[in-house]
Amino acid sequence: MADNASATSVVSGTESATAQPGFTPPAEWSEMESYKPFFKQDKSFDVAALGKSYADTISKIPVVPAKADDYSFEFPKDFPLDEAALKLEKEAAKSLGLTQAQFEGMQKHALSEYARMAQEVAAKAESVKAEFVKEWGPQKFDANLAKVNRAAEQFFGKDAFTNDAIRNNPAVIRGLFKIAEKLTEDTLKSGSGAGADSRPHGVDGRPILDYSKTTPGPSHA
């Protein structure tokens, strides 16, 4: 503590000490490693150099933002940013005492990991495509894939296969293709076909019951 106090007093009086040619530092400074670099060859003490060193040291002291919301990072324009997740990351950074620079480093690492995963997904998609182009043939690939997509939408809904792990799964694609092959084009388009309920539908989309028979059910010609 005494050393810090001495350094502070000398730095705060840098100008006056520099202006005084006869300034003599305390004798013990010449034996202290922290002050030795500031003694010149003629044994005089370079107060200005000490002041600069002190200022540089202060500037390097890590500064933690006052609030979690004070952390900032500029993400790429096309990055699918999750605001809720980012808020939690800022709170975690504040709790851990991270500096702004450390927070930026954390986000840069996350971006590089996101890019790596995106490349892996793209490579997997290309691999699966090449597999089916070889299996179905280049001329049938687009038509067969369209059947797979229609079957998936017909039975599971439009958003059922947005997950890349499922969408790029060869076993799933083959299964849907087999289903599509057993169905007619009309079935894939409208959901009607052998075994389907052929009753007329009302405005609400539900079948209209046929009460001309003892047991209401599908109408038959």
pLDDT in tens, 122-170: 999 999 999 999 999 999 999 999 888 888 888 888 777 777 777 889 9
| 88 lies in the same domain as 55 | no
For residue 44, what are the domain limits? 2-59
| 54 lies in the same domain as 81 | no
Q: How far is CA 146 from the centre of its chain?
A: 32
Q: Decide if pLDDT at 99 tops 70.
A: yes
| 217 lies in the same domain as 183 | no
User: 16-30, 38-52, 101-115, 126-140 — which is least confidently predicted?
Assistant: 16-30
| 220 lies in the same domain as 201 | yes
Q: Is residue 125 part of a domain?
A: no
Which residues, 6+ apart, have CB-to-CB distance to 125 below 8 Å? 164, 168
| 186 lies in the same domain as 200 | no
| 183 lies in the same domain as 201 | no
Sign of dihedral through CA atoms 166, 171, 174, 175?
A: negative
| 106 lies in the same domain as 154 | no
Q: Is residue 15 part of a domain?
A: yes
State the pLDDT at residue 42: 80
| 159 lies in the same domain as 110 | no
**Rg of the chain in Å (alpha carbons):** 37
Which amino acid is it at 95?
A: S
Q: Give burial (CB, 10 Å; 0-12/13-18/19+) of 220.
A: exposed
Asked which of 38, 59, 80 is the last residue of a domain, the reply is 59
Q: Is residue 203 part of a domain?
A: yes
Q: Decide if pLDDT at 192 tops 80.
A: no
The owner of tokens 């009086």 is: 13
| 186 lies in the same domain as 211 | no
Domain count, the chain: 4
| 184 lies in the same domain as 200 | no
| 163 lies in the same domain as 198 | no
Asked which of 59, 91, 107 is the last residue of a domain, the reply is 59
Residue 47 backbone phi and psi in degrees, to 5:
-65, -40
User: Is residue 12 very low, low, confident or very high in pLDDT (cuts 50, 70, 90)?
Assistant: very low
Q: Is residue 130 part of a domain?
A: no
Structure tokens at 108: 């840069």
Which residues, 6+ apart, have CB-to-CB distance to 150 below 8 Å? 180, 188, 189
Q: Is residue 132 part of a domain?
A: no
Three-state SS sequence of 14-81: HHHHHHCCCCCCCHHHHHCCCCHHHECCCCCECHHHHHHHHHHHHHCCCCCCCCHHHCCCCCCCCCCC
Q: b or e along 11-45 (b: 16 or more beta carbons within 10 Å of the residue's beta carbon)?
A: beebeebeeeeeeebeeebeeeeebeebeeeeeeb
Instruction: Please tell me whether the overall predicted TM-score, pTM, comes out greater than 0.75 for this model.
Output: no
Q: Is residue 126 part of a domain?
A: no
| 152 lies in the same domain as 185 | yes
- What Cα–Cα distance (Å) separates residue 74 from each residue in 79, 107, 128? 10, 9, 35
Q: Is residue 14 part of a domain?
A: yes
State the pLDDT at residue 210: 56
Q: Is residue 179 part of a domain?
A: yes
